[in-house]
Amino acid sequence: MRRELLSLLVCPGCEGSFELQVDRADGAEILEGALACQPCRSIFRITRGIPRILPDTLNQGKDATSDAFGYEWSHYSELADTDKKEFLGWMSPLTPSDFEDRVVLDAGCGKGRHSLLSAQFGARTVVGIDLSVAVEAAYRNTRHLDNVHIVQADILNLPFKRPFDLVYSVGVVHHLPSPADGFSSLVKHVKPGGRISVWV
Ligand SMILES: C[S@@+](CC[C@H](N)C(=O)[O-])C[C@H]1O[C@@H](n2cnc3c(N)ncnc32)[C@H](O)[C@@H]1O
Ligand SMILES: [Zn+2]
């Protein structure tokens, strides 16, 4: 994680701001450390470069879904040439110009293939979140880009206020125990006048 991400993050429990503790860094990249919420005193670890901002308890259904996908992504983490065409099909009627200079959330980012494309389309900042170990692949695939941040987090307990011009989610919401709750949660993080695109 890089320090710039801090300005977007809040505690998912109380919306308090975090104090960053750095235990180990590689240049601007914070590899090990913690995010400490001042108001409620929750502490979330940063391990292997990824902030892990997960609620204490996750229900069974969510665990099973993210575990299954996490297995898949950590074993099949290559990116394919066909990803761009496929992504644009799923995002239609949005086009690459709708990403330009935008602050973007990729909700349920898997191995980060669309976070990477969003950056290539000119997004100012991209945040990819995923509940599962897929974040390890997403981090590997995007670490070279200063404006892409990967966070292990839950769509239903997002650690942000409303910083996003564009929120999208591809192939995720229909797997949640309550797709409606997932959609409502995502909408709450879109800036007034911003856009949301959900493919199911
Ligand atoms: C079919 S994959 C799609 C991944 C990515 N959007 C793509 O198209 O490459 C679904 C992803 O949703 C993630 N996921 C499932 N439940 C989630 C939740 N509650 N919060 C965040 N991510 C979740 C899974 O871990 C998995 O990586
Ligand atoms: Zn808090």
Q: Find the CATH number of the domain harbouring 127.
A: 3.40.50.150
Distance 194 CA to ligand 1 centre (A): 22
Q: How many domains does the chain have?
A: 1
CA of 65, closest atom in ligand 1 = 15
Tell how far CA 74 is from the center of its chain. 16
**In a domain? residue 43:** no
Read off the pTM: 0.93
Q: For residue 134, give its domain range.
A: 50-199
Q: Does 27 fall in a domain? A: no
Residue nearest to atom 1 of ligand 1 (CA): 171
- Flag whether pLDDT at 61 surpasses 50: no
Integer Cα distance of 174 and 44 in angstroms: 28
pLDDT digits (tens, 9 = 90+) for 33-55: 999 999 999 999 999 999 999 98
30 and 49 in contact (C-beta within 8 Å)?
A: yes
Report, as an integer, the average pLDDT of 53-71: 60
Q: Could you tell me the distance, in angstroms and rounded to a whole number, from the CA of residue 18 to the centre of ligand 2?
A: 8
Average confidence (pLDDT) over 55-81: 59
Residue 87 included in any domain: yes
Q: 159 in ligand 1 pocket by Cβ < 6 Å?
A: no
Listed residue (72, 86, 80, 164) closest to 149, CA to CA: 164
Rounded distance, CA 37 to CA 192, Å? Answer: 26
Report which of residues 74 and 179 the model is more confident about: 179
pLDDT at residue 70 greater than cutoff 80 = no
What atom of ligand 1 comes closest to residue 73's alpha carbon? 27
Quote the CA–CA distance of 2 and 142 in Å, as a whole number. 12
User: Phi/psi at 92 (nearest 5 deg)?
Assistant: -55, 140
**pLDDT, position 60:** 41
Q: What is the mean pLDDT of the chain?
A: 92
Q: Is 65 in the pocket of ligand 1 (CB under 6 A)?
A: yes
The proportion of the chain whose per-residue pLDDT surpasses 90, expressed as a percent, equals 84
Ligand 1 site, residue 154, Cβ cutoff 6 A: yes
Residue 111 lies in a domain: yes
What residues form DSSP beta bridges with 29? 2, 26
Within a 10 A sphere around the Cβ of 165, how many other Cβ atoms? Answer: 19
Which amino acid residue places its CA nearest to atom 25 of ligand 1? 66
Which residue type sits at 145? Answer: L
pLDDT at 105 over 70: yes
Residue 163 lies in a domain: yes
Does 28 reside within a domain? no
E-strand ranges in the chain read: 18-26, 29-37, 43-47, 50-53, 103-107, 125-130, 148-153, 164-170, 190-199
CA 58 to ligand 1: nearest atom:
19
Q: Has residue 177 been placed in a domain? A: yes
**Statement: residue 72 has pLDDT above 80:** no
> Which pLDDT band, with edges at 50, 70 and 90, does 66 fall under?
low
Q: Look at residue 56 in the predicted model and tell me its pLDDT.
A: 76
Supply 20's token pair: 């960053």
Ligand 1 within 6 A of CB of 123? no
Say what angle helices 134-142 and 113-120 make with each other, to 10 degrees. 30
Which residue, by CA, sits nearest to atom 24 of ligand 1?
66
State mean pLDDT over 93-98: 97
User: pLDDT at residue 57 above 80?
Assistant: no
Residue 16 domain-assigned (yes or no) = no
Q: Kindly state if the Cβ of 98 falls inside 6 Å of ligand 1.
A: no
Question: Which tokens go with 183?
Answer: 């959609």
pLDDT of residue 22: 98
Single out the residue of 135, 134, 118, 137 nearest to residue 126, CA to CA: 118
